[in-house]
Structure 1
Amino acid sequence: MLTPDDIRAAHARIAGHIRHTPTLTLPAETFGTPVPVAMKLEFLQVTGTFKARGAFNTLLGGTMPAAGVCAASGGNHGIAVAHAAATLGIPARIFVPEISSPAKIARIRETGADLVVGGARYAEALAACEAFAAETGALSVHAYDAWATMAGQGTVGLEWEADAGPLDTVLVAVGGGGLIGGIATWFGRRVKVVGVEPEGSRALHAALAAGGPVDVDVQSVAADSLGARNVFGRVYETAKAHVDHVVLVPDDAIREAQKRLWLGLRAASEPGGAAALAALISGAYRPAPGERVGVLACGANVDLAALAATVAG
C-alpha cells in the first residue's frame, strides 16, 4: 500500500518540474455554495491538470528503457506523460480514444510525442498501449493503477493541507481514482475524503458497492477525463481504506459548476475539473453548518467554444 512517506518522497522528486498550486479560501457567495470553500487551484498546474505530478514521479523514479514510454489516456494523462517525456528527453507514444477532445489531442501533438487515436473508449486505447509496450519494451505509464502515479497525485494533498490549514472534508473528482487514492492516503482518516463521480461514470462508486472492482458503462459530459470503466485493484484497496464515501452528480450540475467557476473566478474548467464543485452546488454533498470544506478544481484543458456555450446556456 502507498504511504505518506511515499508521497513526501514524490514531492521532493518532482519539485523542480511542477508548480505548487495555490489554495484560495472563497466565501460562499463566490459560487453559491452552502459554506466557504478552500479551493485548490490545480488547474494552474503545468499541462493544465494534476496529471503532471504522477507523470514526472514515474519518469524520474527509475531507469527508462531505450524504447521510451507509452501511455493510454482520455487526454490529460497523455498530455502530462508527453510533456514530462519531452522535458526529460524520453521518446513517448500516446494512445487516446476517439472521444478525446480536439483541444487535448492538439496539446499532445504540441509536445512532439507520437500520437495514436483509436478505439471508442479509454479501455480500447489502453489495450493498444499495452500491446505496444509488450512488443517494444517501452514503459507503459498507467493513468491511475500504479503506485508511482498515485504517489505523485498525492502531493496535491500534501500542499493542500500545508496551505489551507485545518479542514474537515475535501471533495475530489474521480475518474480512474489515482488522484483520490493519493490524496486519501495523505490525509488518512484525519480528514474526510469524499469522491465525486458523474452519474454516468461511476467506477469507484460501483466498486465500493460491489466489494471489488467491476466494469461500468460510461456516458457523461466528463467522459474524456472521468471516463474509466474500472478502477482496478490498487485504487480500490486504497479507497476502501481511506475514502469516506463517493457521491454522484448529474451532467447538468457539472455544466453549472463550469459556469460558476467562470463567472465567480474567471476559471476555464473542463467538465471533469468542475465535478467536485458540482457536488456542493447540486446538494450531492451537504456540509454541516461551519464545516471546513476543501474543493479541488483539477483540470483546465477545455475546448473554449464548448465552455462558451456552457456559460451562455
Structure 2
Amino acid sequence: MSDFIKRARAAEQAMRSVFPATPLQRNVLLSERYDADIWLKREDLSPVRSYKIRGAFNAMRKQDGQDLFVCASAGNHAQGVAFMCKHMGVKGVIFMPVTTPQQKIQKTRMFGGDHVEIHLTGDYFDDCLGAAQDWSAEKGGYFLSPFDDMDVIEGQASIAVEIEAELGVPDHVILPVGGGGMSAGVTTWFGDRTHCLFSEPAGGACLRAALAAGHPTTLDHVDTFVDGAAVGRIGQKPFDLLRDRHLSDVLVLSEDRICATILELLNVEGIVLEPAGALAVEAVGEVQSFIRGKTVVCVTSGGNFDFERLPEVKERAQRYSGVKKYFILRLPQRPGALKEFLGILGPDDDIARFEYMKKSARNFGSVLIGIETSKPENFVRLFAHLDDAGFTYTDITNDETLAQFVI
C-alpha cells in the first residue's frame, strides 16, 4: 500500500498544473441538522464538474507517445477524457449510452472540441462499454476504463490526499459508488484511519451485490435515473480493494429519495448536484445515530445536472416526501358528484392532474387524479373524508407498474 500512497500523492501534485484542488466546505445546514461537523468535498466544482478528470488525467499522463484514447462513459468520465484530450493535443473516441442526458453529451463536445468524436450506442453503460472495448481492440487505441484501471483509481485517490491536507483525517467519509474507482481509491488512501461508508442507488447497487456474492456480479436490471452511478457490475480492480468492507457500510438509497436532496441543496444552498452527486449527502440521514459529534466528509461527486430533468426530479421528490399522490377514483356518473369530490379537498390540497379515463360501468367512470398538498398528513384527512362519502379509490402512487403507464 505504501507504493499506492506514493503514486496517489504524485498524481495529486502533478494535476495541480492542470486544475486547482476542489473546495472542502463545511455545511452549516447539515451540521446543525445532524449535530455533527459535516463537510462537502465539492467535486462538482472541478473544471468538468465531476471528479472523473482526476483519473483521466493520471492515466493519460502515463501513456507517453499514445495519440488515441478510447473510453466508455455515462457522461462524467467522457468529459474528463475530452478535457484531457484537448489539453494534451491527442484524439479521443468516446462511447456513451443513447440514454445519456443531452447536457452531458454537449459538454463532452465542448470540452473536447475537434479532438474527440462521440459514438452513442446501447441503452445502458455496460452496453456501450463492450462496444468501446471492441472498437479499441480493432483500431489499436488505448482503452481508458472509467474505474477498472489502477492508474484511474490512483488519480481518484487524490480526493483523499486533498481532504487530509486540509482537514486531517475525518472520522467518517461517505462515498458515492458507481463502478467503484473513486471509492476504492479514497478507501485505500485512508486505510483503517477513518470509517468509509458507501452510498449506492437502489437501481444500481453493484457493490452491495458483489460483497454479498464475494465477487463482482452483474445486476439483472439497472435503473438509469442516477446515470453517474448506474453501473450493473463493479470493476474487478475496485472490488479487490473493497472486498473486505462490511455490507453494513453500504447504504442503498431509493432514486426518489435522492431527488429530495437534489431539490433541497438547490433551493436552500444554491448547490447544483446531479443525482449521483447527491448520493453521499442523502446517506448522512442513514447514519445520524453514530456520527453525532463526529467529523464527516461527503464527496459530492458531480454537478452535471440537466435542468430539463428538473420537473421529473421535483415529481419524484414530492412522491417520496409524501406530499403528492396519484389515485384512480371511481366517480359516480350523476349530477353533483364532481362538486361533492371537490368539496372534500382541504385548503392546501391542489389538483395537479385530472384525467377522465373511461367508463368502467354504466353509472361510474374512472378518473386519474394527482393531488399536491403541503404536508403528508393531509392525505390521512382526505382519504378519511373520501371513505365517509362512499367514494371508491385506489392509491397508485407507489405502484411502479401502473405509474409507468399512467403517470
Q: What's the TM-score bracket when you normalise by the shorter of the two chains?
A: over 0.9
State the alpha-carbon separation in 2 of the partners of residues 305 and 118 from structure 1.
Answer: 22
The aligned counterpart of 1:11 is 12
| More divergent stretch after superposition (243-252 vs 256-265) | 243-252
Amino acid paired to 1:188: G
The aligned counterpart of 1:271 is 275
The aligned counterpart of 1:299 is 302
The answer to whether the Cα contact below 8 Å between 1:268 and 1:307 also exists between their aligned partners in 2 is: no
Where 1:278 maps in the other structure, the secondary structure is: helix
State the alpha-carbon separation in 2 of the partners of residues 47 and 181 from structure 1.
Answer: 21
Aligned in 2, Cα 1:120/1:308: closer, same or farther, shift over 3 Å?
A: closer
The aligned counterpart of 1:259 is 263
Amino acid paired to 1:114: E
The answer to whether the Cα contact below 8 Å between 1:28 and 1:34 also exists between their aligned partners in 2 is: no
The structure where strand makes up a greater share of residues is 2
The answer to whether the Cα contact below 8 Å between 1:220 and 1:251 also exists between their aligned partners in 2 is: no
The aligned counterpart of 1:105 is 105
The aligned counterpart of 2:63 is 62
Deviation at 1:284, TM superposition (A): 5.9
Where 1:95 maps in the other structure, the secondary structure is: strand
The aligned counterpart of 1:120 is 123
The answer to whether the Cα contact below 8 Å between 2:35 and 2:293 also exists between their aligned partners in 1 is: no
Deviation at 1:230, TM superposition (A): 0.9
State the alpha-carbon separation in 1 of the partners of residues 118 and 283 from structure 2.
Answer: 34
Long gaps (5+) in structure 1: none
Aligned in 2, Cα 1:31/1:102: closer, same or farther, shift over 3 Å?
A: farther
Q: Once the two structures are superposed, what CA deviation does each residue of 1:284-312 show, in whole Å capped at 9, x if it has no partner?
A: 66433212211111101110232366358
The aligned counterpart of 1:20 is 21
| More divergent stretch after superposition (302-311 vs 156-165) | 302-311
The answer to whether the Cα contact below 8 Å between 1:13 and 1:60 also exists between their aligned partners in 2 is: no
The answer to whether the Cα contact below 8 Å between 1:249 and 1:284 also exists between their aligned partners in 2 is: no
Aligned in 2, Cα 1:53/1:29: closer, same or farther, shift over 3 Å?
A: closer
Amino acid paired to 1:107: K
Q: Once the two structures are superposed, what CA deviation does each residue of 1:83-117 show, in whole Å capped at 9, x if it has no partner?
A: 11111001001000112111001111222210000
* Residue 138 of structure 1 pairs with residue 141 of structure 2: yes
State the alpha-carbon separation in 2 of the partners of residues 276 and 210 from structure 1.
Answer: 24
Q: Once the two structures are superposed, what CA deviation does each residue of 1:165-187 show, in whole Å capped at 9, x if it has no partner?
A: 34110101000000101100111
* Residue 77 of structure 1 pairs with residue 77 of structure 2: yes
Q: Once the two structures are superposed, what CA deviation does each residue of 1:49-106 show, in whole Å capped at 9, x if it has no partner?
A: 000000011111122434x101000010011101111110010010001121110011
Please report the TM-score for the alignment, with normalisation by the length of structure 2: 0.72
State the alpha-carbon separation in 2 of the partners of residues 53 and 96 from structure 1.
Answer: 19
State the alpha-carbon separation in 1 of the partners of residues 29 and 212 from structure 2.
Answer: 32
Aligned in 2, Cα 1:197/1:286: closer, same or farther, shift over 3 Å?
A: farther
The aligned counterpart of 2:225 is 221
Larger radius of gyration: 2
The aligned counterpart of 1:194 is 197
State the alpha-carbon separation in 2 of the partners of residues 3 and 245 from structure 1.
Answer: 23
Amino acid paired to 2:161: L
Please report the TM-score for the alignment, with normalisation by the length of structure 1: 0.93
* Residue 52 of structure 1 pairs with residue 56 of structure 2: no
The answer to whether the Cα contact below 8 Å between 2:175 and 2:196 also exists between their aligned partners in 1 is: yes
Q: Once the two structures are superposed, what CA deviation does each residue of 1:255-302 show, in whole Å capped at 9, x if it has no partner?
A: 011112213321111000001111123x26643321221111110111
The aligned counterpart of 1:181 is 184
* Residue 89 of structure 1 pairs with residue 89 of structure 2: yes
| Larger relative contact order (CA 8 Å, sep ≥ 6) | 1
State the alpha-carbon separation in 2 of the partners of residues 231 and 99 from structure 1.
Answer: 20
Amino acid paired to 2:280: A
Aligned in 2, Cα 1:166/1:63: closer, same or farther, shift over 3 Å?
A: closer
State the alpha-carbon separation in 1 of the partners of residues 293 and 26 from structure 2.
Answer: 14
State the alpha-carbon separation in 1 of the partners of residues 54 and 292 from structure 2.
Answer: 34
The percentage of aligned residue pairs carrying the same residue is: 27
The answer to whether the Cα contact below 8 Å between 1:279 and 1:285 also exists between their aligned partners in 2 is: no
State the alpha-carbon separation in 2 of the partners of residues 100 and 19 from structure 1.
Answer: 28
State the alpha-carbon separation in 2 of the partners of residues 16 and 154 from structure 1.
Answer: 17
Aligned in 2, Cα 1:276/1:295: closer, same or farther, shift over 3 Å?
A: same
**Number of aligned residues:** 310
Amino acid paired to 1:275: L
